[in-house]
């Protein structure tokens, strides 16, 4: 009998109480992860406190697969040279680029222009049609720290969806079949 048969054999040998316990255990792990994520959102002020760099546009500062930690405190002014993560209308994926120019008005409104360190031109071509500057409302967060290449797992899962489902199946089977010692 192959490993699949062992899996179903283990499931059949578990009594209902053990199965419920393992399902609840799995649900607890998932809900704990969600609570930690929501807590990070509240603490950092960013709707997305952790992002993965998906392109090489910020090399050598950040490489594809680097994990960035963001904050987005609204009373903290944006300055030239800072690395921001912003969302543009019509695009699903946020962009990680550096602020290169700032226009600050006397009423406190700030508009700014971004550019990838590894790009030849500024980001005006990436903004929505007719938009020449970003505003504070476009910012998801500002880079405060990073872990190199930790996000490669995310990139691999996006590039190869079958790998993602296989990994989820293995993790789910492990949690359901793990015996308490």
Q: Give the active site residues.
A: 57, 97, 123
**DSSP type of residue 179:** P
3-state secondary structure of 48: coil
The CB-side HSE value for 4 (13 A sphere, CA atoms) comes to: 1
Q: Three-class SS of residue 13?
A: helix
Residue found by looking up tokens 């020449």 in the block: 132
d(CA 74, CA 17): 49
| Burial status of residue 99 (CB atoms within 10 A of its CB: 0-12, 13-18, 19 or more) | buried
């Amino acid at each position: 009998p192959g490993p699949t048969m062992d899996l179903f054999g283990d499931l059949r040998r578990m009594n209902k109480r053990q199965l419920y316990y393992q399902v609840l255990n799995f649900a607890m792990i998932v809900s704990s992860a969600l609570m930690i994520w929501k807590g990070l959102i509240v603490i950092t002020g960013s709707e997305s406190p952790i992002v993965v760099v998906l392109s090489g546009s910020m090399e050598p500062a950040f490489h594809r697969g680097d994990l960035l930690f963001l904050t987005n405190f609204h009373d903290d002014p944006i300055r030239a040279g800072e690395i921001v993560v912003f969302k543009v209308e019509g695009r699903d994926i946020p962009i990680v680029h550096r602020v290169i120019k700032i226009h600050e008005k006397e009423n406190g409104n700030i508009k700014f222009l971004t550019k990838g360190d590894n790009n030849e031109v500024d980001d005006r071509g990436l903004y929505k049609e007719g938009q020449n500057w970003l505003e504070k409302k476009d910012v998801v967060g500002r880079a405060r720290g990073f872990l190199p290449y930790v996000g490669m797992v995310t990139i691999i899962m996006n590039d190869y969806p079958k790998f993602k489902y296989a990994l989820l199946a293995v993790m789910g089977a492990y949690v359901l079949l793990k015996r308490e010692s």
